[in-house]
């Protein structure tokens, strides 16, 4: 007999879990890791609430300061700010009635020891917000952090880096992302797989010419519900990330190029390389052994093989066998400022100093990997960042420091809000620079 699905938890219980996630992010923990601790049956609802709270956290915190100058203890403050964020949907259309949200938040406070003593305070704040909503919203309207729901340093960095697009970039980060897929064309053509989607009643559209394997679903689905996912017919991958493998392989003429994916987890780009070039000899590195297991799992699902190793790409002496590579992909660690719509916690986790620290790591990786490339080979540098220090400025500094580089055509900064490239539109923020090694 099949087991009945677990019922959805009441709203007060979901509010507790979402507030705990907000508190964890404030303490410096990744939202993805925090959500892993939530029961699977409850996770979608809790994630939706946490995503919304983090997308509106700047305004929620400003409102809480209007309601109470002194912050309550961390758990109570996280619960109150979560509720205030949910009370202020974009366009000022609340997700819940004031009564429902206040009563359920107070119930959430009463049912856990860390917030029980603050239940009356939370109730008073939410009741006051319901009475004075227009005046309180007007009071925070000129606060840039409240308006844009990003830290002040982030706003200033975007204004410097992209003076024509910074506002549109911030607006794009507040929108739910599309679910983009890559069809494994080694197994079947994209059109054939889309026919299967249509037969299953799943609405989708093909991406344009820059993404011959790309598909965007009209509505996100759990991966288990995507036709052919378990069999390896399709992978989840944003359109911007789908540009990497074609760019890297465009100059390869041999049947078995030696390819290095230097920071490979979770393996999407490694798999795409192998789908486009089945004979490639691919070495996929990641510094984290657990993340290496994710690469192996993804390759196994797709029926692909690569040499996957846990190693620090910046220390080639510990893993390189001395044979040069024909192509190197460096999807370097970065601020992730281009994927804020997928990871709304990133903006609150990062600090201004992180960008320069990450840029230093990127420069170290580029310098360490360049000698491993054969003359005539190509290195593709990529980050999922819209900050110039991790993109154009990094590429220019690398080219200036290496006289044997030839810069080839590449997209540069891909901005979610700027449709400068055909077929860009709904892609995440990314940066690509492509270098060829000049023969000695």
Q: Does the structure show a pLDDT above 50 at 1?
A: no
Q: Does the structure show a pLDDT above 50 at 420?
A: no
- Same domain? For 433 and 377 the reply is yes
Q: Does the structure show a pLDDT above 60 at 429?
A: yes
Report yes or no on 211 lying in a domain.
yes
Which pLDDT does position 244 carry in this prediction?
97
Q: Provide CB contacts within 8 A for 324, sequence distance 6+.
A: 258, 372, 373, 374, 377
Q: Does the structure show a pLDDT above 50 at 69?
A: yes
Indicate the number of domains in the chain.
Answer: 3
Give the number of other Cβ atoms within 10 Å of residue 309's Cβ: 15
Q: Does the structure show a pLDDT above 70 at 63?
A: yes
Closest Cα to residue 257, out of 377, 372, 369? 377
Tens-place pLDDT, residues 364-411: 999 999 999 999 999 999 999 999 999 999 999 999 999 999 999 999
Terminal Cα distance for the chain, rounded:
70
Q: What residue ranges in 128-190 does DSSP mark as E strands?
A: 179-183
- Same domain? For 113 and 193 the reply is no
Tens-place pLDDT, residues 3-61: 555 677 899 999 999 999 999 999 999 999 999 999 998 999 999 999 999 999 999 99
- Same domain? For 433 and 295 the reply is yes
252 pLDDT tier (thresholds 50, 70, 90): confident
Task: Return the CATH number at 134.
Answer: 1.10.940.10
For residues 247 and 378, what is the distance between their CA atoms, to the nearest angstrom? 10
Domain boundary among 236, 265, 285: 236
Specify the range with the lowest mean pLDDT, choosing from 206-215, 245-254, 263-272, 352-361.
Answer: 245-254
Report yes or no on 383 lying in a domain.
yes
Q: Where are the alpha helices (DSSP H) in 279-351?
A: 289-302, 346-349
Give burial (CB, 10 Å; 0-12/13-18/19+) of 143.
middle
Which pLDDT does position 437 carry in this prediction?
97
- Same domain? For 423 and 284 the reply is yes
Torsion angles phi and psi, residue 429, rounded to 5 = -75, 135
- Same domain? For 85 and 99 the reply is yes
Report yes or no on 85 lying in a domain.
yes
- Same domain? For 222 and 357 the reply is no
**Average pLDDT taken over every residue of the chain:** 94
Tens-place pLDDT, residues 272-304: 999 999 999 999 999 999 999 999 999 999 999
Q: Does the structure show a pLDDT above 50 at 226?
A: yes
Report yes or no on 313 lying in a domain.
yes
- Same domain? For 287 and 379 the reply is yes
Report yes or no on 6 lying in a domain.
no
| The pTM of the whole model exceeds 0.85 | yes
Report yes or no on 94 lying in a domain.
yes
Which pLDDT does position 422 carry in this prediction?
47
- Same domain? For 72 and 129 the reply is yes
Report yes or no on 174 lying in a domain.
no
* % the chain with pLDDT above 70: 95
Residues forming a β-bridge with 381:
330, 433
- For range 336-347, the mean pLDDT: 97
Task: Return the CATH number at 194.
Answer: 3.30.70.1170
For residues 293 and 297, what is the distance between their CA atoms, to the nearest angstrom? 6
Tens-place pLDDT, residues 149-173: 999 999 999 999 999 999 999 999 9
Residue 150 token pair: 């990003």
Identify the domain containing residue 225 by its residue range.
Answer: 179-236
- Same domain? For 394 and 330 the reply is yes
- Same domain? For 203 and 336 the reply is no
Q: Does the structure show a pLDDT above 70 at 418?
A: no
Whether 81 sits among the annotated catalytic residues: the reply is no
Torsion angles phi and psi, residue 119, rounded to 5 = -60, -45
Q: Does the structure show a pLDDT above 60 at 432?
A: yes
- Same domain? For 249 and 228 the reply is no
- Same domain? For 226 and 127 the reply is no
417 pLDDT tier (thresholds 50, 70, 90): low
Q: Does the structure show a pLDDT above 80 at 218?
A: yes
Tens-place pLDDT, residues 106-128: 999 999 999 999 999 999 999 99
254 pLDDT tier (thresholds 50, 70, 90): confident
For residue 305, how many C-alpha atoms fall within 13 Å in the half-sphere facing its CB?
2
Task: Return the CATH number at 298.
Answer: 3.40.50.150
């Amino acid at each position: 007999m099949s087991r009945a699905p677990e019922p959805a938890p009441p709203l007060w219980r979901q509010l507790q879990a979402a507030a705990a996630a907000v508190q964890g992010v404030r303490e410096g923990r990744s939202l993805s890791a925090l959500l892993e601790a939530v029961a699977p049956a409850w996770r979608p609802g809790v994630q939706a609430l946490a995503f919304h709270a983090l997308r509106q956290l700047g305004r929620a915190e400003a409102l809480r300061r209007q309601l109470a100058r002194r912050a309550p203890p961390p758990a109570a403050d996280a619960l109150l700010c979560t509720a205030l964020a949910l009370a202020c949907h974009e366009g000022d259309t609340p997700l819940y009635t004031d009564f429902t949200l206040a009563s359920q938040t107070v119930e959430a406070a009463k049912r856990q020891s860390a917030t029980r003593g603050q239940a009356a305070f939370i109730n008073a704040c939410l009741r006051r917000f319901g009475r004075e909503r227009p005046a309180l919203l007007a009071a925070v309207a000129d606060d840039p952090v409240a308006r844009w729901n990003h830290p002040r340093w982030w706003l200033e960095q975007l204004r410097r880096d992209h003076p024509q697009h910074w506002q549109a970039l911030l607006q794009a980060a507040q929108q739910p992302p599309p679910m983009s897929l890559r069809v494994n064309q080694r197994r079947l053509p994209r059109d054939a797989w889309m026919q299967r989607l249509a037969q299953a009643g799943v609405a989708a559209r093909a991406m344009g010419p820059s993404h011959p394997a790309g598909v965007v679903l009209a509505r996100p689905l759990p991966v288990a519900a995507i036709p052919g996912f378990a069999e390896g017919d399709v992978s989840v991958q944003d359109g911007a990330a789908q540009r990497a493998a074609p760019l890297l392989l465009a100059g390869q003429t041999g049947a078995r190029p030696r390819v290095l994916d230097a920071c490979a987890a979770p393996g999407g780009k490694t798999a795409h390389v192998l789908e486009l070039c089945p004979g490639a000899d691919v070495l996929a590195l990641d510094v984290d052994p657990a993340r290496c297991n994710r690469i192996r799992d993804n390759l196994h699902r797709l029926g692909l093989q690569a040499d996957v190793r846990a190693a620090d790409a910046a220390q080639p002496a510990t893993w390189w066998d001395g044979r040069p590579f024909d192509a190197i992909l460096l999807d370097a660690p970065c601020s992730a400022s281009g994927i804020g719509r997928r990871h709304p916690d990133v903006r609150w986790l990062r600090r201004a100093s992180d960008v320069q620290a990450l840029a230093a790591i990127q420069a170290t990786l580029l310098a360490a990997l360049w000698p491993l490339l054969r003359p005539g080979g190509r290195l593709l540098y990529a980050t999922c960042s819209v900050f110039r220090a991790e993109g154009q400025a990094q590429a220019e500094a690398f080219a200036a420091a290496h006289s044997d580089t030839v810069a080839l055509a590449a997209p540069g900064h891909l901005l979610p809000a700027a449709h400068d490239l055909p077929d860009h539109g709904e892609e995440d923020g990314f940066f690509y620079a492509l270098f060829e090694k000049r023969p000695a």
